[in-house]
Amino acid sequence: MAASIRCLLLLAWFALSAQAFAQTQDESAPADTDVPEASESSAAQEGSQTAVEPMTLTLHVHPIFPPDQAELVYRPLLNYLSATTPHQFELSTSRDFHRFWLEIRRGNMPDLVLEDAHLIALRIQRDGYMPLVKAAEPATFSLLTNSMSADPQLQDFVARPVSSMPAPSLGYLILSSWYPNPMQQPRILSNAASWLDAIEIVFSMEAEAAIAPHNLVARYVNMVPVRTSEEFPHATIAASPSVPADVQNQIREALLTLHENGDHFTALHELDIDQFVPAQVSEYSGLEQWLSDIYVF
């Protein structure tokens, strides 16, 4: 009888042990299957953090063309950027350099700007802009005349009419720097609507010389350069601090390969440049001082 009782107790112990083991296995199984789900969730979260959301960005350009012409010149560039990046791009222009400078003085900070080097330098120094690309060929400005003189000199134009775009255009500032004596100045006609217009004013006999950028100097071989400036970084595109670094990189990469894209040839052709190359902050160091000679900012 005692042996039977011990046998029953032993069987009951085995049954309870088996049930406990099964419960342990059931409880541990979900923990194993949860691990891949947690990993997948973590990976998805990391992917969402690194993904670049499409943005609508504004490119503000310096007013070296009238607004209607600026639309024709810069639209192919914006179309190219919209086609080769996830983002959309809108053009912003100022009617003239006076309004343009007022916007800068008031702290206007567009997403992107395309400007001459001295203005880019100001935005870097004051607002933390990052230069992305510049035109491959450096910029210079020359004083051009159609004078019959074999060797025209700067002093030949003291008190004489010379055509230019208004300040703070780089050409105007360079022209002024060549005449440091306030009593020995040309009569600067700063009403040109574009650099091409400045040259045309000479041909219309309203001025005896004009300040003009290098690309126009090369075209007007019948005009005589009186003096040519030092070289500057040309046609620079810079991004404001509000544009994320990943977006800046996308724009930079697209612009650096623009010259390889035959479908968008007009984007460079309208800008009258061959290609974009990387721009470095150090190239613009101190160039904002060109503005300090005339303005306080």
* Class of 56-138+232-292 in CATH: alpha beta
Q: Which of 149 and 74 is assigned the larger pLDDT?
A: 74
Question: Which of 43-52, 134-143, 150-159 is predicted with the least confidence, judged by mean pLDDT?
Answer: 43-52
Tell whether the model's pLDDT for residue 24 goes beyond 80.
Answer: no
- Asked if the domains 56-138+232-292 and 141-228 are classified in one and the same CATH topology, the answer is yes
Q: Provide the residue ranges of all domains of the chain, joining segments of one domain with +.
A: 56-138+232-292, 141-228
* Distance between CA atoms of residues 3 and 98, nearest Å: 112
221-248, pLDDT tens digit by residue?
889 999 999 999 999 999 999 999 999 9
User: Strands 232-239 and 209-213: what pairing?
Assistant: unpaired
- Summary mean pLDDT of the chain: 87
Tell whether the model's pLDDT for residue 22 goes beyond 50.
Answer: no
Percent of the chain with pLDDT over 70: 80
Query: What confidence tier does 150 reach under pLDDT thresholds 50, 70, 90?
Result: confident
Q: Which of 169 and 28 is assigned the larger pLDDT?
A: 169
65 three-state secondary structure: coil
293 three-state secondary structure: coil
Q: Write the single-letter amino acid at 134.
A: K
Preceding peptide of 213 cis, ω within 30°: no
Residue 72, C-beta contacts closer than 8 angstroms, at least 6 positions apart: 270
Q: Quick one: tokens of 39?
A: 């990993």
Beta-carbon neighbour count of residue 206 at 10 Å?
12
Q: Quick one: tokens of 106?
A: 């008031």
177-208, pLDDT tens digit by residue?
999 999 999 999 999 999 999 999 999 999 99
* Class of 141-228 in CATH: alpha beta
* Distance between CA atoms of residues 249 and 245, nearest Å: 6
* Distance between CA atoms of residues 131 and 100, nearest Å: 19
249-292, pLDDT tens digit by residue?
999 999 999 999 999 999 999 999 999 999 999 999 999 999 98
Name the pTM for this structure. 0.82
* Distance between CA atoms of residues 45 and 164, nearest Å: 56
